[in-house]
C-alpha cells in the first residue's frame, strides 16, 4: 500500500498528490511515468511524474478528473492509500543524456499546455538543479486553468504565460506566444512540448518552421502503459512506435499527429478497436482484452 502524504487542489478538477513510494522515487527521472491502481478492483492509470524526493521517498502526481478512475481518486485524501504504484516506466527525457557542458550551450524552451505543466515542471526542476535556466511558455484557456505558477517561476529562467481569452499574460495560445517572442528577437535551439495533442501538433509545426529541434511527449494517448493494449500506437518517421515503451517523447517533426488523433478517437469505442486491430494486424499489439 502507498500512502497519500499530501493532497492539494490546483484548479477545477485538478489535484496534486504526494505519495510515499520510496523505490519509485529512488529511480525516477524526468520524462518518465508510472501506473497506479486505487484498489484491487481499480483500473490501471498511467500518470507522468511531476516531481520526486529521493530522501523523503515520495513522488508527486498531478491528476485531472476526466474518467471514472481519476474521478474516484479525486475523493481520496491525505492518509488514504493507493493499492499499486508501478514505475518508473518509459524513457527519460533526452536532455538527461547530455553533460552539463552540452546543456549549458543550449538555449532551451519548454512549451506546457494545461496539465502538461506537471511533467514539464519535472524537467525544468532537474535542469535547474544542474544550474541550467530554461525558459517556458505555459498556456491554458483561461487564467483559472493555469497551475503551479509559483513553482514554475522558481525553476524557470523566464516564464511566459499565455491564455486563449487574454485573462493572464499573452493573449493567445502557446504558438501565438512563441511567434511573438521570436518576432521580438528571442531565439531557442531546443524545445520540449507537452500538452494536448492538437496543441503539440501546431507547436511542432511552428518550431519546425523556425528551425527549432523539438521533442513532444505522447503520454496523453497511453492506456495500458506496457505496450500490450495498442492504445498508444503511432507513426513516427513512417515507423510504428508505442508511446509507453518507445517514448513517451519523440521528435515532434516526425510524429504523424493527424493519424494519432484520428486513431485515438477510434480507440474509444469497441467497434473502433476491432477495426484498428483488423487494419493493423501484427503491428496492433493486442492483449488488453478490449480487442478480443
Residue 186 backbone phi and psi in degrees, to 5: -80, 130
Q: Does any domain span residue 259?
A: no
**Bridging pattern class, strands 159-163 and 170-171:** parallel
The answer to whether residues 231 and 167 belong to one domain is: no
Average pLDDT over residues 38-53: 90
Residue 10 backbone phi and psi in degrees, to 5: -100, -25
Q: Does any domain span residue 211?
A: yes
Q: Does any domain span residue 262?
A: no
Q: Does any domain span residue 260?
A: no
What 3-state DSSP class applies to 51?
strand
The answer to whether residues 101 and 193 belong to one domain is: yes
- Identify the residue with better confidence: 46 or 231: 46
Distance between CA atoms of residues 194 and 118, nearest Å: 9
Per-residue confidence band for 219, with pLDDT thresholds at 50, 70 and 90: confident
Q: What is the pTM of this model?
A: 0.88
Residue 145 backbone phi and psi in degrees, to 5: -95, 0
The answer to whether residues 204 and 225 belong to one domain is: no
* Residue 239: CB atoms within 10 Å: 10
Domain count of the fold of the chain: 3
Distance between CA atoms of residues 68 and 259, nearest Å: 26
Is residue 63 within 8 A of residue 278, CB to CB? The reply is no
Per-residue confidence band for 228, with pLDDT thresholds at 50, 70 and 90: low
Single out the residue of 49, 67, 48, 44 nearest to residue 59, CA to CA: 49
Single out the residue of 32, 40, 36, 43 nearest to residue 67, CA to CA: 43
**pLDDT recorded at residue 180:** 96
What 3-state DSSP class applies to 58?
strand
The answer to whether residues 196 and 280 belong to one domain is: no
The answer to whether residues 23 and 12 belong to one domain is: yes
**pLDDT recorded at residue 123:** 96
Average pLDDT over residues 195-209: 96
Single out the residue of 219, 173, 176 nearest to residue 194, CA to CA: 219
The predicted-structure confidence for 4-20, as pLDDT tens digits, reads as follows 999 999 988 999 999 99
Q: Does any domain span residue 11?
A: yes
Q: Does any domain span residue 263?
A: no
The answer to whether residues 199 and 238 belong to one domain is: no
The answer to whether residues 100 and 207 belong to one domain is: yes
The answer to whether residues 228 and 119 belong to one domain is: no
CATH code, domain with 14: 2.40.30.10
The answer to whether residues 85 and 98 belong to one domain is: no
The predicted-structure confidence for 97-114, as pLDDT tens digits, reads as follows 999 999 999 999 999 999
Q: Does any domain span residue 46?
A: yes
What is the helix (H) or strand (E) element at residue 180, kind and residue range? helix 174-183
**pLDDT recorded at residue 69:** 87
Work out the percent of the chain whose per-residue pLDDT is above 70.
89
**pLDDT recorded at residue 90:** 87
Average pLDDT over residues 253-271: 80
Q: Of the candidates 217, 238, 260, which is a domain's last residue? A: 217
CATH code, domain with 116: 3.40.50.80
The answer to whether residues 139 and 171 belong to one domain is: yes
The predicted-structure confidence for 111-160, as pLDDT tens digits, reads as follows 999 999 999 999 999 999 999 999 999 999 999 999 999 999 999 999 99
Work out the percent of the chain whose per-residue pLDDT is above 90.
68
Angle at the Cα of 236 from the Cα atoms of 242 and 205, rounded to 5 degrees: 125
Q: Of the candidates 177, 197, 217, which is a domain's last residue? A: 217
Q: Of the candidates 41, 60, 89, which is a domain's last residue? A: 89
Q: Does any domain span residue 258?
A: no
The answer to whether residues 212 and 276 belong to one domain is: no
Average pLDDT over residues 23-37: 93
**pLDDT recorded at residue 268:** 64
The answer to whether residues 98 and 159 belong to one domain is: yes
All three cell numbers of 247 = 517514448
Distance between CA atoms of residues 290 and 284, nearest Å: 12
**Range of the structural domain that residue 229 is part of:** 220-248+268-292
Amino acid at each position: 500500500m502507498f500512502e497519500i502524504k499530501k493532497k492539494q487542489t490546483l484548479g477545477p478538477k485538478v489535484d496534486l498528490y504526494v505519495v510515499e513510494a520510496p523505490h519509485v522515487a529512488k529511480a525516477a527521472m524526468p520524462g518518465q511515468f508510472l501506473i497506479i491502481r486505487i484498489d484491487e478492483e481499480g483500473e490501471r492509470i498511467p500518470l507522468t511524474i511531476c516531481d520526486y524526493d529521493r530522501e523523503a521517498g515520495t513522488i508527486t502526481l498531478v491528476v485531472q478528473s476526466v474518467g471514472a478512475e481519476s474521478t474516484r481518486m479525486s475523493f481520496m485524501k491525505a492518509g488514504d492509500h493507493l493499492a499499486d504504484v508501478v514505475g518508473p516506466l518509459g524513457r527519460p527525457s533526452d536532455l538527461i543524456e547530455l553533460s552539463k557542458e552540452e546543456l549549458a550551450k543550449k538555449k532551451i524552451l519548454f512549451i506546457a499546455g494545461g496539465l502538461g505543466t506537471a511533467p514539464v515542471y519535472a524537467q525544468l526542476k532537474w535542469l535547474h538543479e544542474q544550474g541550467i535556466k530554461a525558459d517556458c511558455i505555459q498556456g491554458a484557456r483561461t487564467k483559472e486553468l493555469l497551475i503551479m505558477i509559483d513553482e514554475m517561476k522558481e525553476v524557470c529562467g523566464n516564464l511566459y504565460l499565455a491564455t486563449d481569452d487574454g485573462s493572464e499574460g499573452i493573449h493567445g495560445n502557446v504558438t501565438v506566444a512563441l511567434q511573438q517572442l521570436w518576432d521580438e528577437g528571442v531565439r531557442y535551439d531546443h524545445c520540449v512540448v507537452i500538452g494536448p495533442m492538437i496543441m503539440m501538433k501546431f507547436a511542432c509545426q511552428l518550431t519546425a518552421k523556425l528551425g527549432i529541434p523539438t521533442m513532444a511527449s505522447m503520454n496523453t494517448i497511453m492506456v495500458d502503459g506496457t505496450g500490450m493494449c495498442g492504445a498508444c500506437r503511432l507513426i513516427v518517421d513512417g515507423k510504428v512506435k508505442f508511446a509507453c515503451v518507445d517514448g513517451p517523447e519523440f521528435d515532434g517533426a516526425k510524429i504523424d499527429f493527424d493519424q494519432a488523433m484520428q486513431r485515438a478517437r477510434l480507440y474509444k469505442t469497441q467497434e473502433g478497436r476491432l477495426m484498428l486491430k483488423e487494419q493493423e494486424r501484427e503491428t496492433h499489439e493486442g492483449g488488453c482484452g478490449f480487442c478480443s
